[in-house]
Chains A and B, each alone.
Chain A
Amino acid sequence: MLGCSQRLQREAAQQRLKGRAELLVRESGGGAVLTGPWLVAVSVVLPPGHPWLAGGLLESYRQLGQLHGAALAAFGIAARALAPQELPRVQQAIGVRPVDWACFGSLSPWEVVSADGRKLVGLAQRRRQSGVLLVAGTLLDVPDWPLLCDALGQSQEAQLLRQRTVSGAELAQRQIPPEQFAEVLTQGLEHALT
């Protein structure tokens, strides 16, 4: 799935995929994501005037990022939503250059990382006068990074993505059933939004 500003790469990516995966362009920002059973994605639609929207883009990200951190904690996974002021230090500590074309290849405010700064939850949003769509994706297992990199013509960057990310299963040292994680997220959202 490509971010909205990557739509011009759609045709070339489609050709490289050779039918190995379906290709979509989403309406929110950010980089490419490979969806599948390793990823739990959440979409939250909020009406204008909702409290989560009052503080601007970053405040919405903070709410959604911290909610994901709490959901991961329920499975014994130590992860935190990254405050904007922490970004430069964590970027440097990772020691691997960003991969900007991939959602999970770089860090933005309030995305969720492990203690050593590897990313496992990516965030994005779409704001319209009629309402706001917040989206998040959590890596519960390791995606097929070589497939994603091949689709974007960046085969040499799979190792960088592997180094900059971590999955829930790796941190918990056990598989996290996606449906169980989705249930905890749903409960958290219901509690926070009502």
Chain B
Amino acid sequence: MTGVTLGTEAWKDIDPATEALLDKWLVAQGDTVRAGQALANAVLVKSNLEIVAPSAGRIAQILVPAGQTFARGKPVALLQEVA
């Protein structure tokens, strides 16, 4: 199982106390996704960003629903990788 996170480059130079907002999910729990597919949009410092799948697989669990905030490095979903 792999945690899906907002890429570390998005957090560069951002105050460590700042959280991102999970704006919108583009997939649902149980969906099959491909590597690099946009899974959700997040807002950080007035920037609308993509959260992408790190590998192909199935969305096993959404951990952060739309409308909630999350901290740097926190997984927003769990991805069950496929061989």
Contacts and interface: CB of A to CB of B under 8 A. Distances in A.
Decide whether A and B assemble into one complex. Answer: yes
A84 B15 contact: yes
7 interchain residue pairs of minimum CB distance: A56-B12, A29-B43, A30-B46, A29-B46, A126-B48, A124-B46, A125-B47
Contact of A127 (B13, B15, B36, B48): B48
B50 to A, nearest CB: 6
A128 B42 CA distance: 11
Interface of B: 9-10, 12-15, 21, 23-24, 36, 38, 41, 43-50, 52
Interface of A: 3-5, 27-30, 55-59, 61, 84, 108-109, 123-129
* Interface core residue of B45, B46, B50 (most chain A CB under 10 Å): B46
Contacts of A55: 12-13
B23 A127 contact: no
A28 B9 contact: no
Contact of B45 (A108, A126, A128): A108
Contacts of B21: 5
